[in-house]
Structure 1
Amino acid sequence: MTAKLRKGMLFGMGNPLLDISASVDNEFLLKYSLKPNDAILADDKHASLYTELIEKYDCSYIAGGATQNTLRVLQWVVQMPEVTTFMGCIGRDKFGGILEQKAREAGVNVRYQYSDKFPTGTCAVLLTQNGAARSLCANLAAANAYSVEHLCKPENKALMEEASFYYISGFFLTVSIESILTVAQHAHEKGKVFSMNLSAAFLCRLFKDQMMQAFPYIDLLFGNETEAREFADVHNLGTHDVTTIAKLVSKFPKKSAVPRTVVFTQGADDVIVVQGEEMHTFPVPKLKPEEIIDTNGAGDAFVGGFLAMYLLGKPLETCVSCGIKVSVEVVKNSGCTLSDRESVHVV
């Protein structure tokens, strides 16, 4: 089955953040109690991190936020403007202006809520091991102020309802579970596809209740091996084997009769996909160390490539293949950025 792309086909929600990216030493991570391949929300002990990062290291400023990254990549693949719509909250400031400009340039139809009380959120992207490991520390600021009232405005609700596919990062669980459930329930009632991402290990543990409220609605679940294992521990699944976890997670209670598809990436190792009773593995091409510039955004890019083909009704193999190809491209660049579209054959 193939489908035709149209404007507003996929609706996404998440935390729009400006990434402040730099290569740092391990001492910097230790100073702020950070791990090499992890993602956390900033707290009081990280107050000086952003200033120190900007003063001591050569920083790049890149439009980020997991869902927004994914939608920018999807737009890059399909080369048709406004196939995707995105909602989240930013401040009325310079960083917010940069984020909005980058998203619109990429072809995403952004409908932000604007906060007058908080600045646009930022995310420190700390690269170690020559770019092969990335530690994320997010200061949500305005992103945390998103409210379901914005989603329920008639003009925004109409955009949500005209979509056929939905994608929300797990990070949004900390912001507005009401918005997530509003979207999820609409998707369920209308027989549309609702997808989410585990996004970070801490979400599986600290936001377990919110995650499990949304879980029965999830038709398509993404995550990486670290998140999968944390999810398994939190839910006492009794295994750290990622394939087994994917099979078990696919069987978690679900509102609709359509089997849940679970897609787990494992960095340079095979991508694992469980769909109904079927399990598939897909190899990832091995890159030379000198080809790896920055792994930040690789997971977001994989989802963007996967969903681009998924919207077109392409087979699972094509979806995964496209996801892998665009994530490989992102790893070769700084941040979730891509090369010239003409130079990359995504399918």
Structure 2
Amino acid sequence: MSDTEFDVLAIGDAVVDVIAPADEALLASEGVPKGSMRVIDRAEADRLYARMGPAQETSGGSAANSMAGIAALGGRAAFVGQTGSDQLGKIFAHDIRAQGVQFDTPPLTTDIATGQCLILVTPDAQRTMNTYRGASEYLSVDALDADLIARAKIVYLEAYLWDHEAPRAAMKRAADLAHEAGRKVAFTLSDIACIDRHRADFVGLLESDRIDILFGNAEEARALAGSADLETAVAELARHAGLCVITCGAEGAMAVQKDATAAVPATPPRALVDTTGAGDLFAAGFLAGHAWGRPLEASLRLGAAAAAEVIADYGARPLGALDGLAAN
């Protein structure tokens, strides 16, 4: 693939993470289960933001975090996602470009606000995520650049966008364009709630051969395959995806192909500060390793090491270069 310019191009939510410490009392008063991930509307986002303490604001979104991770590892990454014409949109664009990711999607010209994820971090490092998707829901096929897609070794899609017709159509079209150019398509299941809402669609994606690499955690793999046994579930998913990459929390991660299987333990973090972005950075490490032609086990280890680094800092993005990890 010498004709490619990018290791990975991702399509996903363009949101700004607003991260602040929170005590258990705030979660209880809001009636929000600790560790949950939920979608909220604009009114609730405004109300919750008013109750948060001093916060750190940085561009976020699952797939966007992964692209920032790839750039930090020394890889070449690009991102497609929809922002609004507001201050948060400017923050998103500035941050992701400053981290070395190509981002060219023009903002909406309407008054629709850029999405935001209000993240409450309790003293035990658990994060509770409250997402208002805003402009992300309006990403359309018109935002796609077929030439840009053809210049990426892997096109990475996130399930969080599947709830709305316009971005759903954009992702399907991007997958088709990638395959027409001879590129690989990766898809992350994102969250168990996405599978609850769209299991039939996701199974259809796999059976239509649109997905070459499937990312998920153990719970998501069981739910999508409809099997309580993880080994059986992953084997079933790998029949269609070709490569399944499954995280298993503290037990590590595995990758399963039709002709190969690898597993690695979790990398212990140097500190446990904030688990936000751990899965996103794991995907970054694995995708980078895979794009560089590394074996499954080496790619898994790079993913585990990148996840451990982001856990040791505050926020969902690496605070510095991670190219030392890629050299190991």
Give me the TM-score of the superposition, normalised by structure 2.
Answer: 0.89
Q: Which residue of 1 aligns with 2:245?
A: 263
For 2:17 and 2:319, the matched residues in 1 are separated by: 19
Instruction: Please say if residues 224 and 265 of structure 1, whose CA atoms lie closer than 8 Å, have aligned partners that are also in contact.
Output: yes
Instruction: Please say if residues 150 and 181 of structure 2, whose CA atoms lie closer than 8 Å, have aligned partners that are also in contact.
Output: no
1:114 to 1:268, Cα distance in 2 relative to 1, 3 A = same
Determine whether 1:210 maps to 2:201: yes
Determine whether 1:184 maps to 2:184: no
Determine whether 1:12 maps to 2:5: no
Q: Give the aligned residue type for 1:246.
A: V
Determine whether 1:298 maps to 2:298: no
Q: Give the aligned residue type for 1:58.
A: P
1:10 to 1:292, Cα distance in 2 relative to 1, 3 A = same
1:90 Cα offset (Å): 0.2
Instruction: Please say if residues 22 and 52 of structure 2, whose CA atoms lie closer than 8 Å, have aligned partners that are also in contact.
Output: no
1:31 Cα offset (Å): 4.2
In structure 1, the residue corresponding to 2:268 is in which secondary structure? coil
Q: Give the aligned residue type for 1:106.
A: Q
Q: Aligned Cα RMSD in Å?
A: 2.3
Which runs of structure 2 are paired with 1:1-347 in the superposition (5 Å)?
A: 7-43=5-41, 47-78=43-74, 83-115=76-108, 116-131=110-125, 133-151=126-144, 156-175=145-164, 176-215=167-206, 216-232=209-225, 236-237=226-227, 239=228, 241-251=229-239, 254=240, 260-287=242-269, 291-341=271-321, 344-346=324-326, 347=328
In structure 2, the residue corresponding to 1:112 is in which secondary structure? coil
In structure 2, the residue corresponding to 1:85 is in which secondary structure? strand
Show CA shifts across 1:36-60 (max 9, x none). Answer: 333222148xx33543344442321
Instruction: Please say if residues 95 and 120 of structure 1, whose CA atoms lie closer than 8 Å, have aligned partners that are also in contact.
Output: yes
For 1:301 and 1:315, the matched residues in 2 are separated by: 18
Show CA shifts across 1:129-171 (max 9, x none). Answer: 521x2222210011111111222xxxx2221222231101111
Q: Give the aligned residue type for 2:147.
A: A
Instruction: Please say if residues 4 and 153 of structure 2, whose CA atoms lie closer than 8 Å, have aligned partners that are also in contact.
Output: no
Instruction: Please say if residues 11 and 84 of structure 1, whose CA atoms lie closer than 8 Å, have aligned partners that are also in contact.
Output: yes
For 1:342 and 1:161, the matched residues in 2 are separated by: 27
Instruction: Please say if residues 268 and 308 of structure 2, whose CA atoms lie closer than 8 Å, have aligned partners that are also in contact.
Output: no
Number of aligned residue pairs: give it. 322
Residues 102-111 or 210-219, more deviating: 210-219
Instruction: Please say if residues 306 and 325 of structure 2, whose CA atoms lie closer than 8 Å, have aligned partners that are also in contact.
Output: no
1:199 Cα offset (Å): 0.3
1:278 Cα offset (Å): 3.2
For 1:134 and 1:59, the matched residues in 2 are separated by: 14
Instruction: Please say if residues 12 and 86 of structure 1, whose CA atoms lie closer than 8 Å, have aligned partners that are also in contact.
Output: yes
In structure 1, the residue corresponding to 2:71 is in which secondary structure? helix
Task: After the TM superposition, list the runs of 4 or more consecutive aligned residues in structure 1 that deviate by more than 6 angstroms.
Answer: none
Show CA shifts across 1:11-36 (max 9, x none). Answer: 21001100111222334334444333
Q: Give the aligned residue type for 1:140.
A: R
1:54 to 1:162, Cα distance in 2 relative to 1, 3 A = same
**Identical columns (%):** 24
For 2:122 and 2:282, the matched residues in 1 are separated by: 21
1:114 Cα offset (Å): 1.4
For 1:283 and 1:31, the matched residues in 2 are separated by: 38
For 1:90 and 1:340, the matched residues in 2 are separated by: 25
Instruction: Please say if residues 180 and 214 of structure 1, whose CA atoms lie closer than 8 Å, have aligned partners that are also in contact.
Output: no
Q: Give the aligned residue type for 1:119.
A: A
For 1:167 and 1:342, the matched residues in 2 are separated by: 20
1:242 Cα offset (Å): 2.9
1:214 Cα offset (Å): 2.7
Give me the TM-score of the superposition, normalised by structure 1.
Answer: 0.85
